[in-house]
Structure 1
């Protein structure tokens, strides 16, 4: 069984943590073409008796991008759904924490989501803000 501490340790040994509140981590990953992408991992405890892990990565400021196009492009991906939180458009993926293998069921979705978010950011904003 994977714990939130396992996820924290996995992230800390591989990435520079920009922010840690105890229930979520924000860090940056390297992407293709000297681009970087921020990602947040949230621990969502005891939702219906199950702990959840949410991975999210920003795409752009919601008021500065074509949200309809974001939804269309997000719908083509095998992982992640589009959302707007605090005025920022992002991709999100949620999974039950106890079922995760940190290496397989966390690392792979993390990589896929972050790379997709960066590609969408590049396409929709032509920038590398996040």
Structure 2
């Protein structure tokens, strides 16, 4: 059985953690062309007896981008959905923690989500803020 500590340790050994609390951590990944992308991973409390892990990556300030275009782009992504949290437009993907294969069910969606968020940020803002 996979625990939240297992996810934290997996991230810590592979990426530089920028911020961390008991229930989430934020880190940065390298993207294409020298760009970087910030990622947050949250431990979502049990719902229906199952704990979840949410992966999210910012695309831009919601009030500064074309949200309709973001929704169109998100519709083409293999993983993740668009959301606005605290004024920030992002892509997020949630997976159940129980019996999580960190390599297949965490790392693969993480990399797909980060690549999409970075591409969307580049198209919608022409910057590398997040």
Same fold (TM over 0.5): yes
CA deviation profile, 1:37-68 (whole Å, cap 9, x unmatched) = 00000001211111000000000000000000
CA distance in 1, matches of 2:51, 2:39: 20
**Number of the residue aligned with 1:85:** 85
Q: What does residue range 63-78 of structure 1 map to in structure 2 within 5 Å? A: 63-78=63-78
SS at match of 1:82: strand
Gaps of 5+ in 2: none
TM (normalized to structure 1)? Answer: 0.98
**Number of the residue aligned with 2:8:** 8
CA deviation profile, 1:79-104 (whole Å, cap 9, x unmatched) = 10000000000000001111310111
CA distance in 2, matches of 1:123, 1:40: 21
Aligned residues: 130
Aligned-residue CA RMSD in angstroms?
A: 0.6
Bigger drift between 93-102 and 115-124 goes to 93-102
Q: What does residue range 1-130 of structure 1 map to in structure 2 within 5 Å? A: 1-130=1-130
Gaps of 5+ in 1: none
